[in-house]
Amino acid sequence: MLTLSYDGAGYHGWQIQPNAVTVQEVLQNALESVLQEKPNLKGCSRTDAGVHARMFCASFHTQRQIPCDRLINALNHFLPPDVAVTACREVPAEFHARYSCKGKQYVYQIWNAQVRDPFLRERALHYWYPLDESLLNETAQQFIGSHNFTSFCTQDQREIGSFVRTVTQSEVRREGNLVCFTVAADGFLYNMVRILTGTLLYAAQGKLAPADIPAVFAAKDRGMAGPTAPPQGLYLNHVYYEEAELNG
């Protein structure tokens, strides 16, 4: 299993697409250069275009006998500077980066100042109206627990089965002008974190109160929640696995 981090600004998400450059494509190309074979990469998530990852995991099978430390250095030689492999470990043959995952943590960054920060271009949402982080945190607390998140996702062909997810962490903190929304769950639906963020901004604008969130869940209606926040502030921050599955 490879662990990597990447700046997603120049990519059309993780998953390979016919007419756009993706993170999976550049990683697969690097693997092919090193291994002289094209392994079938399994990613832990399907990040959208412009979304970043501080921790992203991908698994694959290979017959090549290359020690992990050498593989890390070799791949980073062939990867572009906005993608880096940070760790590598052997895992059981049945391990799958996505299906073995027990949960993920995301962070959404908002630069809350009148003047934009050019160093955070495509790294954070610039929101110049004042934000009350205490109100946002109170609203974010309403997301914790097991809920049907139909109101908080974009429904398309990828969303089948249950819309129930269990959120274990949901909080908003401010560090100077940077306001960060951190959310962890056993799984996420399409655009779920970005819609949760947009709903927090709706609360900041007085369009709903923390006490209104249970009714938004109950409605199972996408129109009841806030807009989908732009992708550039979103980071896949951590991916969780059970040690027993990593060791076999």
What is the pTM assigned to this prediction?
0.94
> What six digits make up the tokens of 201?
């901004």
Phi, psi torsion values for 148, nearest 5 degrees: -85, 115
Q: Is the dihedral of CA 96, 99, 100, 102 positive or negative?
A: positive
Which residue ranges form the domains of the chain, and what is each CATH number?
A: 2-99 (3.30.70.580), 106-234 (3.30.70.660)
> What six digits make up the tokens of 239?
């991916």
186 is catalytic: no
Strands 178-185 and 103-111: antiparallel
Q: Which residues of the chain have pLDDT under 50?
A: none
Q: Position of tokens 């990613």?
A: 43
Phi, psi torsion values for 131, nearest 5 degrees: -120, 130
pLDDT for the residue numbered 243: 87
Q: Which of 48, 117, 212, 221 is catalytic?
A: 48
pLDDT, tens only, 88-146: 999 998 999 999 999 999 999 999 999 999 999 999 999 999 999 999 999 999 999 99
pLDDT for the residue numbered 158: 56
Task: Indicate the length of the chain as a whole number.
Answer: 248
pLDDT for the residue numbered 50: 95
Label residues 151-182 b or e (16+ Cβ within 10 Å = b). bbbeeeeebeeebebebeebbbebeeeebbbb
pLDDT for the residue numbered 63: 85
